[in-house]
Amino acid sequence: MAAGEQLPEALEDLLLQDGALQGVDQVDIAELRQRSQPRRVQPGEVLLRRGEANTHMYVLLEGVLRVDLDQPEGEPIGRVYPGATVGELSLLAHSTATASVTAETSVELLAVDENTFYWLVARSHAFALNLLVTLAQRLQSSNSAAVGQLSLRRHFERVALHDALTGLHNRRWLDDTLPRLVQRHRYAKQPFSAAVMDLDHFKRVNDGFGHAAGDYVLVAIAETARLNLRPTDLIARVGGEEFVLLFPQTGLAGAVRAAERLREAVAACALCHQGVALPPASASFGVAELGANEDYRGLLERADRAVYRAKTNGRNQTQWEDESSREDGKAGR
């Protein structure tokens, strides 16, 4: 069709009943035809390219347009059907196109230039209202997508920072969190302690009863820890049967008491996997309090030394290092 040529009656009815031109006065539609350029677009031709300037709103009369964020490969993020418009958002915002729009089939459309677009906005209340509704719908869709992306991101963050078997925090979480906790407590001049918990004779369970039984024991111990640690205490599984406990705003004496309470709870666990009674569980603990000029690495090294003593001195006990006095201690059976 040439500029100013009469639209087929079916297409004119479509413009009046659907999309951005719904409810627009027929006199204004007639003048829009005079001001605009009908175009035939072949499949694959690009109307809008993401990131590039746009000077038209396109009213789709026939065919299908596809909307992509990048190259038109695979499934598009959306499709545009007769009666709908594209390009009006970038015209309103005086910005580049936010997506690429390509003809998916042979397409007939009306190309409305910027001057005609703003003429119609000022001329027709119905057109302006339709634009407002369209933009509100797109904003709502964008918000829904953003919420979905945020939920997905939080899911992946949780997966990345938690142990898949026990649901406890993992080594990555510890490496990220512990330095910040240590820095915060040193700045506030508050006590902070850590402990290493190592399950005793865990290899015997795996070797004698199978890895499924070993996994069951780890999950049971993790749940025991959740029930017996204080709400402010933190725990991470950092190895096969090794865990790190963090005790914010807690000195050595309080951390030893917390470790002992958990050690006794572990020893009291009755473990039975698939009807088979498992050997009684026990754990060795090494506790250390953060020193005045110590970083998180030094704190964990001293807790590691303490748990090593607990293991070599008979297991099922809590050992600790007092950084200020350099004295070692022991509690437990």
Nearest to 283 by CA among 300, 257, 261, 250: 261
* Cβ(87)–Cβ(48) below 8 Å: yes
Nearest to 103 by CA among 41, 165, 159: 41
- Residue 305: other Cβ atoms inside 10 A: 16
Strand, coil or helix: 108: strand
9 is catalytic: no
Which of 31, 45, 157, 241 is an active site residue? 241
Rounded CA gap, 51 and 90, in Å? 10
Sequence-separated (6 or more) residues with CB below 8 Å from residue 218: 165, 166, 199, 237, 241
Handedness of CA 325, 329, 177, 226 (dihedral sign): negative
Strand, coil or helix: 311: helix
Nearest to 319 by CA among 238, 267, 259: 259
Rounded CA gap, 67 and 285, in Å? 59
Rounded CA gap, 191 and 267, in Å? 28
Residues labelled as active-site residues: 241
